[in-house]
Amino acid sequence: MHLPTQTDIAIIGAGPHALTLAAHLLRKRSQMQEKMVVLDPSGFWMHQWQRLFSMLEISHLRSPAAHQPDPNPQALHQFAKYRASELFSPHDLPGAKLFQDFCQTLVCRWQLQQRVHRALVRQITPLKRGSCLRIGLSGGKSITAQRVVLAMGGGMLNFPTWVNKITTPYPKYKLCHSNEVDLRQLRLQGERVLIVGGGLTSGHLAVGAVARGAQVLLLSRRRLMEKWFDTDPNWLNSSHSQKFVAERDWEARWEMIQQARNGGSVTPDMMAHLRQLEQAGQVALHQRCQVVKAEWRGDRWQVRCQDGAILECDRIWLATGTKLDATQNPLLADVLEEFPTGIVNGLPVLDDHLRWQGCNLFLMGGLAALQIGPTACNLAGARMASDRIVNALTKPSLVRS
């Protein structure tokens, strides 16, 4: 389908957040399908999500089946009626294939595949006092939109400071962020892999590396934390969220988010698996340990830790997540310059509809955390964000002209 030069609504990204927004919007106003354009580098819904799950061989989601893109909370349970074996206990966690298939049914139901265009967004520039925005694409093309929703997650790969201090040249594939590791392509027999990070991703990497014949050193800066979910479920509908919404000090809100998420954690199932591998001598857990220096010597890494320990390995994988910082996001540079807004530790202060102050740009995902709370990155947060944004997109009184 030909990319138009202008549209009413442009959604940047075609992942779970974007799909949640589209489904909620079209359920409320089905005729808006013709007014909507979705921009994604792949040209397909859920492509990046599926790619990352496949690369790390993740069998199932961490979020229960109630959290999914359809406005009906029971929709995924109903879809899984004859696929109950793909809901993992004890919290009905949907299998990756089940979730992907379910999302594709939404794409078909709302005829959304015809709305997505293969396009890499380079910049977002406000026009006419912010009433519309120009979206610059790679290749020099652009599209003008009355309203733009940035639904890409917004995080940049996070690299520890010691990585930038490595002075010895090394083969690039010997030090990778977890987003760049494709387990399916690797044979690691006899290799030693150092995995840095204490979250669930580090566990998936460790299990995958051992399955390919590697010995794993898993290094985390604190003791591994066991939690079924990365945020307490009480945040979804309780006094937790009410207290958050009532708090009008943005710095205090940011502190509440940090305390609620409290860094990375692994599920009890993953922890049990890692303990088994540790007892078998295939994984060594180095907890409360931080890297201070790494050098490539000959054909191996020599890694010095804060406690003086020296570790040697063939590869380093960084399960260090992403960093959210609106001031460092190139897509937001022009918007920030034209419409400066409050920024609290990288997170922008948005209005109640997750709209950037002064223009019709809406944010979803982690960059909307000051309004949504600690679940902003998750599927539950996508639903909460959609409820707010859909109101602004469908009610004339809320449209900024």
**What backbone phi and psi angles, to 5 degrees, belong to 40?**
-150, 140
What is the predicted pLDDT for the residue at 233?
Answer: 74
Q: What is the pLDDT of residue 243?
A: 85
pLDDT of residue 399: 53
Q: What is the pLDDT of residues 58-96, one digit of tens each?
A: 999 999 999 999 999 999 999 999 999 999 988 899 999
Q: Is the pTM of this model over 0.85?
A: yes
Outline which parts of the chain fall under CATH 3.50.50.60. Answer: 6-156+323-398, 159-230+265-320
pLDDT digit string, tens, across residues 328-359: 999 999 999 999 999 999 999 999 999 999 99
- pLDDT value at residue 1: 63
> Residues of 72-90 as b/e, b for ≥16 C-beta within 10 angstroms?
eeebbbebbeeeeebbbee
Distance of CA 310 to the CA centre of its chain: 33
Q: What is the pLDDT of residue 316?
A: 97
Residue 262 has pLDDT above 80, yes or no: no
272-297: per-residue pLDDT in tens? 999 999 999 999 999 999 999 999 99
Q: Which residues of 317-327 are buried (b: 16+ CB within 10 A; e: fewer)?
A: bbbbbbebbbe
Record: fold of 159-230+265-320 = FAD/NAD(P)-binding domain (3.50.50)
Mean pLDDT of 192-196: 97
More reliable by pLDDT, 240 or 164: 164
Query: pLDDT class for 301, splitting at 50, 70, 90?
Result: very high
Phi, psi of 6 (to 5 degrees): -150, 155
All residues at 6 or more sequence positions from 61 whose CB lies less than 8 Å from its CB, including other chains: 93, 94, 95, 96, 99, 379
**In this predicted structure, what is the pLDDT of residue 401?**
44
What length does the chain have? Answer: 401
Residue 344's alpha-carbon distances to 100, 224, 322, 400, in angstroms, are: 35, 28, 17, 25
What is residue 385's predicted lDDT score, i.e. its pLDDT? 95
Element holding 19 (H helix, E strand)? helix 16-28
Q: Can you tell me the mean pLDDT for 231-240?
A: 72
- State pLDDT tens for residues 171-181: 999 999 999 99
Contact in structure between 215 and 191 (CB atoms under 8 Å): yes
Query: CA-to-CA distance for 126 and 336, rounded, in angstroms?
Result: 10
CATH topology of domain 6-156+323-398: FAD/NAD(P)-binding domain (3.50.50)
* pLDDT, mean of residues 51-64: 94
3-state percent breakdown (helix, strand, coil) of the chain, nearest 5: 40, 25, 35
Q: What is the DSSP string of 110-121?
A: TT-GGGEEE--E
Pairwise pLDDT comparison (229 vs 34), residue with the higher score: 34
pLDDT tens digit sequence for 4-46? 899 999 999 999 999 999 999 999 999 988 999 999 999 999 9
Q: Is the pLDDT of residue 112 over 50?
A: yes
Peptide bond into 73 cis (omega under 30): no
The share of the chain scoring above pLDDT 70, in percent, equals: 97
Check residue 397 and give its pLDDT: 55
